[in-house]
């Protein structure tokens, strides 16, 4: 993840990529494979102790009033149909109820948020990491497409969001001009693509340079607003057009998935003739009240999806198959290819996923293969044209290529893993890279190359060592490309992360199956490092204890996972797979020692529940019976948004039970225990009071 973060910085911040798009896609796919095979990358801590790239350094950092989030992707018509079906399920709509969507081209530009106060443009921010962006107000003022003021009918506060882009013809002319103006044409700096050119132009220190570059803007949404001028997506977009913002000509309102797919095919057919680069079509639910009800999951809205264009293919030769070792020991095969252009991108590597995929394709070095690339997905081999040629089969290694430890495939798993654990240098380095990655500790200046170099030279061996690097300042200054100034900035960046959110802390530990969302749920459930540590201690104790008063089956369950973690399944939405992973991680003394050492250097921040305060904040709620006015998913989302925990069963720790039709044993148990019981109407009043 840190290597990707480093390349994100080169691409998104410096606008100076040093690898090809295909190599970058390879890295992203490798990460996706690890996340898929380890379903939620993880990281946590233990007892005994008390969404783009980061903003450029020369631009001021400003927090977004509302995060600028990403979209989930669809790659087939079936994915779009499932998206609409998911909307119906969440909102509990009938199969024939109309679901209107909007469809528009997905511009390959630089996301930008324009904030108007008193109807004057007061600030322009790039996406940044989604939470904090770069202040590019002076530069945006030079873009003719962007109004400096809104009409008197506009609300007092309104953030318009869209894409800054450079047209394909303007991009070609700019590169030609840069070449002509270069003192040494052989060393002239040229932009790799229109998106990089737009980003580099917008992020200039001197607004006059931005003014000299041909930038455009297309609006597609909004952030924080005092009020909205319409109650549908299409209605607000029409108002934005009336206010003077450019809107994509292909923007359409569609009555259902069928019409949306027809718009997709029209845009796809016209793709080559459009003046700007696009990589798909974005669908959004038209009704804004439904958007509000659907809300978000993870880092993406439930009410929108990006339908990417289909894969492009080409033939090439397979040079070799290499094995990469991941943080959890997963051995991932990667195909090294004769360079080939696929969809305008030179591809040199492709994923082979796992041993089963290699066997299915029958690939061997020397084979002629078909390579596919779709959008930002890493290239993959989809066919072997020479599988029938007489040649020995390629055998998946039985040992780790980095440490020589036995490589095993667990029962029911598709991934072969190195059994060396932290003995394996590759796993130790990957864990450190994950620890400093963007969504973990996010330490600026400590990228993949430096982590690998520092590890190789013995400067760091565990996460806590990172926070002791200041003890090696003299040695660091003497290193190549490391001046006193650079070292000082690195140490300052490390010190700035000594206090970090509990969710980030847990995610950074690299526990299998504990990704960002799970880490956030854990943090919200136990709220403090001390509370989580106590839970782990209790779980480990129960794991080693016999419980004679329960049945044999229940005893086995309790002993394996611990009573505390079983309770977590109900109160934090954690499944047994995660519970097992947590116990397995903390059952190892080495891991406990590593976390304890880390906690001597850093202080995870206690979780402060949502600013929205109500009688639900910090409470445990149980829903039972058939809800008539909203789906169970929607009810849970409402409770989560108000800081409540949703449990699946009633216990003495339950604070509130919401009953629908045909409520049975849970209602009876709640009444027996004297727990407050309300109906849907009362629940709706609580939610309304807390959100108005």
CA–CA dist 494, 210 (Å, integer): 33
Domain with CATH 1.10.150.20 in the chain: 502-605
- DSSP states of 316-377: EEEEEEEEEE-TT-BEEEEEEEEEEEETTEEEEEEE--SHHHHHHHT--TT-EEEEEE-TTS
Q: Contact, 598 vs 591, CB < 8 A?
A: no
For 502-605, give the CATH class. mainly alpha
Of 229-233, 301-305, 415-419, 461-465, the least confident: 415-419
Give just the sign of the alpha carbon dihedral 149, 155, 159, 163. Answer: negative
Q: Chain-centre distance of CA 169, in angstroms?
A: 33
Rounded mean pLDDT, 380-401: 91
pLDDT-derived band at 663, boundaries 50, 70, 90: confident
Q: Mean of the per-residue pLDDT values for the chain?
A: 83
Q: What confidence tens digit (pLDDT) does each residue in 308-319 have?
A: 988 778 899 999
Q: Is 22 a residue whose pLDDT tops 50? A: no
Q: What confidence tens digit (pLDDT) does each residue in 341-368 have?
A: 786 677 889 989 899 999 999 999 999 9
Domain with CATH 2.40.50.140 in the chain: 16-50+312-419
Q: Is 587 a residue whose pLDDT tops 90? A: no
Rounded mean pLDDT, 149-161: 96
Rounded mean pLDDT, 219-242: 97
pLDDT-derived band at 100, boundaries 50, 70, 90: very high
Any idea what DSSP says for residue 10?
I
Domain with CATH 3.30.470.30 in the chain: 61-298
Of 29-38, 132-141, 374-383, 496-505, the least confident: 29-38
How far separated are the first and last CA of the chain, in Å rounded? Answer: 40
Rounded mean pLDDT, 314-338: 91
Quick one: fold of 16-50+312-419? OB fold (Dihydrolipoamide Acetyltransferase, E2P) (2.40.50)
Of 2-16, 214-228, 570-584, the least confident: 2-16
Q: What percent of the chain has pLDDT over 90?
A: 45
Rounded mean pLDDT, 469-478: 93
Quick one: fold of 620-691? Rossmann fold (3.40.50)
pLDDT-derived band at 55, boundaries 50, 70, 90: very low
Q: Of residues 28, 57, 61, 106, which has the active-site annotation?
A: 106
Which of residues 46 and 628 earns the better pLDDT score? 628
- DSSP states of 415-472: -EEETTGGGSHHHHHHHHHHHTSTTTT--TT--HHHHHHHHHTTS-SSHHHHTTGGGG
Which of residues 689 and 44 earns the better pLDDT score? 689
Domain with CATH 3.40.50.10190 in the chain: 620-691
Q: Is 156 a residue whose pLDDT tops 90? A: yes
Which of residues 13 and 392 earns the better pLDDT score? 392
Q: Is 186 a residue whose pLDDT tops 70? A: no
- Quick check: is 284 catalytic? no
Rounded mean pLDDT, 590-610: 85
CB atoms near residue 574 (< 10 Å):
22
pLDDT-derived band at 377, boundaries 50, 70, 90: low
What number does CATH give the domain 61-298?
3.30.470.30
Q: Is 46 a residue whose pLDDT tops 50? A: no
CA–CA dist 394, 362 (Å, integer): 8
CA–CA dist 275, 251 (Å, integer): 15
């Amino acid at each position: 993840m840190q290597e990707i973060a480093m390349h994100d910085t080169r691409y998104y911040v410096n606008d100076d990529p040093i690898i090809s798009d295909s190599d970058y896609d390879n890295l992203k796919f490798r990460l996706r494979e690890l996340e898929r095979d380890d379903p939620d990358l993880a990281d946590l801590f233990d007892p005994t102790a008390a969404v783009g790239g980061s903003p450029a350094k020369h631009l001021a950092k400003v927090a977004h009033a509302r995060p600028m989030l990403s979209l989930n992707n669809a790659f087939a018509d079936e994915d779009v149909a499932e998206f609409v079906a998911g909307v119906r399920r969440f909102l509990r709509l009938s199969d024939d109820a109309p679901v209107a969507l909007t469809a528009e081209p997905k511009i390959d530009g630089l996301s930008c948020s324009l904030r108007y106060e008193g109807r004057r443009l007061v600030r322009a921010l790039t996406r940044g990491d989604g939470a904090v962006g770069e202040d590019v107000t002076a530069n945006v003022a030079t873009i003719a497409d962007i109004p400096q003021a809104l009409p008197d009918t506009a609300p007092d506060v309104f953030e318009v969001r869209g894409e800054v882009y450079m047209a394909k013809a303007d991009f070609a002319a700019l590169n030609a001009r840069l070449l002509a103006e270069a003192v040494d044409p052989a060393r002239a700096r040229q932009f790799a693509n229109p998106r990089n050119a737009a980003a580099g132009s917008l992020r200039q220190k001197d607004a006059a340079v931005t003014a000299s570059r041909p930038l455009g803007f297309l609006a597609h949404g909004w952030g924080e607003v005092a009020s909205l001028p319409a109650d549908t997506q299409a209605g607000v977009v029409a108002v934005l057009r009336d206010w003077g913002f450019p809107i994509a000509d292909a923007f359409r309102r569609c009555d259902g998935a069928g019409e949306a797919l027809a718009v997709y095919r029209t845009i796809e057919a016209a793709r080559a003739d459009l003046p700007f680069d696009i990589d798909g079509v974005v669908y959004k639910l038209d009704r804004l009240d439904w958007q509000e009800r659907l809300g978000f999951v993870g880092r993406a809205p439930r009410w929108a999806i990006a339908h990417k264009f289909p894969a492009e293919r080409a033939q090439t030769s397979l040079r070799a198959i290499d094995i990469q070792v991941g943080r959890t020991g997963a051995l991932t095969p990667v195909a090294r290819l004769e360079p080939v252009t696929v969809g305008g991108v030179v591809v040199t590597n492709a994923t082979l996923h796992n041993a089963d995929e290699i066997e299915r394709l029958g690939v061997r070095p020397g084979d002629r293969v078909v390579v596919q690339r779709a959008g930002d997905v890493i290239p993959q081999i989809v066919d072997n044209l020479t599988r029938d040629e007489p040649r020995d089969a390629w055998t998946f290694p039985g040992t780790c290529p980095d440490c020589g430890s036995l490589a095993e495939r667990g029962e029911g798993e598709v991934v072969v893993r190195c059994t060396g654990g932290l003995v394996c240098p590759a796993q130790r380095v990957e864990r450190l890279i994950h620890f400093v990655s963007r969504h973990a500790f996010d330490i600026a200046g400590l990228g993949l190359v430096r982590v690998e170099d520092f590890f190789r030279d013995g400067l760091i061996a565990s996460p806590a060592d990172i926070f002791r690097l200041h003890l090696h300042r003299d040695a660091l200054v003497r290193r190549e490309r490391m001046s006193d100034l650079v070292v000082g900035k690195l140490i300052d960046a490390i010190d700035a992360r000594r206090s970090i959110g509990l969710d980030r802390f847990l995610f950074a530990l690299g526990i299998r199956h504990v990704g960002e969302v799970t880490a956030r749920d854990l943090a919200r459930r136990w709220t403090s490092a001390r509370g989580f540590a106590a839970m782990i201690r209790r779980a480990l104790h129960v794991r080693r204890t016999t419980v004679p008063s329960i049945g044999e089956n229940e005893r086995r369950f309790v002993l394996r996972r611990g009573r505390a973690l079983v309770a977590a399944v109900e109160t934090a939405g954690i499944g047994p797979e995660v519970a097992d992973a947590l116990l397995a991680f903390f059952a190892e003394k080495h891991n406990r020692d590593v976390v304890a050492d880390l906690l001597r250097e850093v202080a995870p921040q206690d979780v402060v529940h949502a600013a929205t305060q109500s009688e639900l904040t910090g409470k445990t709620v149980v829903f039972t019976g058939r809800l008539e006015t909203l789906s169970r998913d929607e009810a849970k989302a409402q409770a989560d948004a108000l800081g409540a925990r949703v449990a699946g069963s009633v216990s003495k720790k339950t604070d509130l039970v919401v009953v629908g039709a045909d409520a049975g044993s849970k209602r009876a148990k709640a009444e027996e225990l004297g727990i407050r019981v309300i109906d849907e109407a009362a629940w709706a009043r609580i939610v309304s009071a807390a959100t108005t």
